[in-house]
Chain A
Amino acid sequence: EAGVTQFPSHSVIEKGQTVTLRCDPISGHDNLYWYRRVMGKEIKFLLHFVKESKQDESGMPNNRFLAERTGGTYSTLKVQPAELEDSGVYFCASSQLSASYGYTFGSGTRLTVV
Chain B
Amino acid sequence: SQQGEEDPQALSIQEGENATMNCSYKTSINNLQWYRQNSGRGLVHLILIRSNEREKHSGRLRVTLDTSKKSSSLLITASRAADTASYFCATDGGATNKLIFGTGTLLAVQP
Q: With A42-B103, A43-B88 as given contacts, are A104 and B45 in contact (CB-CB < 8 Å)?
A: yes
How many A-B pairs fall under 8 Å by CB? 65
Q: Which residue of A lies closest to B46 (CB)?
A: A102
In the assembled complex, A7 has its CB within 8 A of some CB on chain B: no
Can you sample 12 A-B contacts with CB below 8 Å?
A: A35-B99, A42-B3, A42-B102, A55-B97, A56-B98, A98-B96, A99-B97, A100-B30, A100-B92, A102-B45, A102-B48, A103-B99
Interface residues of B in 14-35 (CB under 8 A from A): 30-31, 33, 35
B interface residues with partner A (beta carbon < 8 Å): 3, 30-31, 33, 35, 40-45, 48, 88, 90, 92, 95-104
**Contact across chains for A44 and B101 when beta carbons are under 8 A apart:** yes
Inter-chain CA distance A100–B35, complex, in Å, is: 14
Separation in Å of the B50 CB from the closest CB of chain A?
8
In the assembled complex, A69 has its CB within 8 A of some CB on chain B: no
Inter-chain CA distance A68–B48, complex, in Å, is: 29
Separation in Å of the B102 CB from the closest CB of chain A?
7
Q: With A43-B88, A100-B30, A100-B92 as given contacts, are A91 and B98 in contact (CB-CB < 8 Å)?
A: no
Q: With A99-B92, A102-B33 as given contacts, are A107 and B41 in contact (CB-CB < 8 Å)?
A: yes
B92: which A residues are within 8 A, CB to CB? 98-100
By the criterion of a CB under 8 Å from any partner CB, how many residues of chain A are at the interface?
Answer: 28
Inter-chain CA distance A19–B47, complex, in Å, is: 34
Cβ-neighbour of A100 out of B31, B43, B104 (below 8 A): B31
Q: Which residue of A lies closest to B6 (CB)?
A: A42
Inter-chain CA distance A105–B41, complex, in Å, is: 10
**Contact across chains for B97 and A98 when beta carbons are under 8 A apart:** yes
B100: which A residues are within 8 A, CB to CB? 45
